[in-house]
């Protein structure tokens, strides 16, 4: 089983275009594992023997923990771009969160804050190193932003837990964002 290819297909079905697989996500993004498996079997003949155990292995092998399987249902934890906005439970974020971005977007973020753009939520990293890895997908030398999540949350900005490394927000106002000057953030609440 090629679990990387399977993970990509599952992500596409659960995060981006569930209607192509004739799937209907519930308000929290769940579908039954059996309906996803049936859709994937129809999509790719090499998955004719696909079973829930394969989805379990796919999730266990993944470093990024993009999916969750529970009680016969599966969902993507974050990264949704489908039009149906998924309901997330508000959670208390760590004091600081991070976001990697391309240098050309920094001025816009300084004035307008972080917005979800093509996704349902703004994606934030639990540590600066992860933000660097994310930022490198956008630019060779990404800018790492430090978010004072504690102050933002205290002022009413809702945050949602994606997984152990990913946090989500509807938006992050500019006043809670500073440019990270060095990976580490030992200088205080705002780097």
The better pLDDT of the pair 108, 24 is held by 108
Determine, yes or no, domain membership for 189.
no
- Residues 8, 58, single domain; the answer is yes
Indicate whether 125 and 156 sit together in one domain: yes
Percent share of the chain, pLDDT over 70: 94
Q: Which of 187, 178, 116 is nearest to 149 (CA)?
A: 178
Answer yes or no: is 185 within a domain.
no
Asked whether residue 85 is assigned to any structural domain, the reply reads: no
Which residues are CB-contacts of 134 (< 8 A; sequence separation ≥ 6)? 99, 100, 123, 125, 142
Is the per-residue pLDDT at 152 higher than 50? yes
* Secondary structure of residue 105 in the 3-state scheme: helix
Point out the domain boundary residue: 16, 42, 76.
76
Among the listed ranges 11-25, 80-94, 111-125, which one has the minimum average pLDDT value?
A: 80-94
Q: What is the CATH number of the domain that holds 135?
A: 3.20.170.30
* CATH code (residue 72): 1.10.10.970
The chain-wide mean pLDDT, for the chain, equals 89
Give the pLDDT confidence score for residue 45 in this predicted structure.
Answer: 87
Asked whether residue 67 falls in the same domain as residue 8, the answer is yes
Separation CA 188–CA 132 (nearest Å): 20
Residue 86 lies in a domain: no
> Which pTM does this prediction carry?
0.68
Query: Pick the residue with more confidence: 60 or 82?
Result: 60
* 38 assigned to some structural domain: yes
Domain span at 134: 96-179
Above 90 in pLDDT, residue 85? no
Nearest Cα to Cα of residue 168 among 103, 65, 52, 88: 88
Number of domains in the chain: 2
* Domain match, 68 and 124 both: no
User: Do 50 and 106 share a domain, yes or no?
Assistant: no
pLDDT in tens, 180-190: 865 544 444 44
pLDDT of residue 186: 43
Residue with more model confidence, 55 or 118: 55
């Amino acid at each position: 089983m090629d679990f990387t290819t399977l993970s990509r297909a599952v992500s596409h079905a659960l995060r981006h275009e569930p209607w192509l697989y004739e799937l209907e996500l519930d308000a929290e993004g769940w579908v039954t594992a059996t309906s996803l498996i049936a859709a994937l079997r129809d999509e790719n003949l090499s998955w004719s023997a696909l079973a829930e155990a394969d989805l379990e292995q796919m999730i266990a092998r993944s470093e990024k923990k993009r999916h969750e399987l529970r009680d016969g249902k599966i969902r993507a934890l974050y990264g949704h771009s489908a039009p149906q906005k998924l309901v997330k439970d508000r959670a208390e974020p760590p004091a600081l969160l991070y976001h990697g971005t391309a240098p050309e977007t920094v001025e816009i973020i300084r004035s307008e804050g972080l917005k979800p753009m093509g996704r349902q939520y703004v994606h934030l990293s639990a540590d600066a190193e992860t933000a660097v890895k994310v930022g490198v997908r956008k630019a060779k030398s990404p800018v790492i932003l430090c978010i004072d999540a504690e102050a933002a949350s205290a002022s009413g900005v809702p945050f949602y837990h994606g997984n152990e490394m990913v946090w989500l927000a509807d938006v992050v106002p500019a006043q809670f964002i500073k440019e990270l000057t060095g990976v580490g953030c030992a200088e205080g609440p705002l780097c």
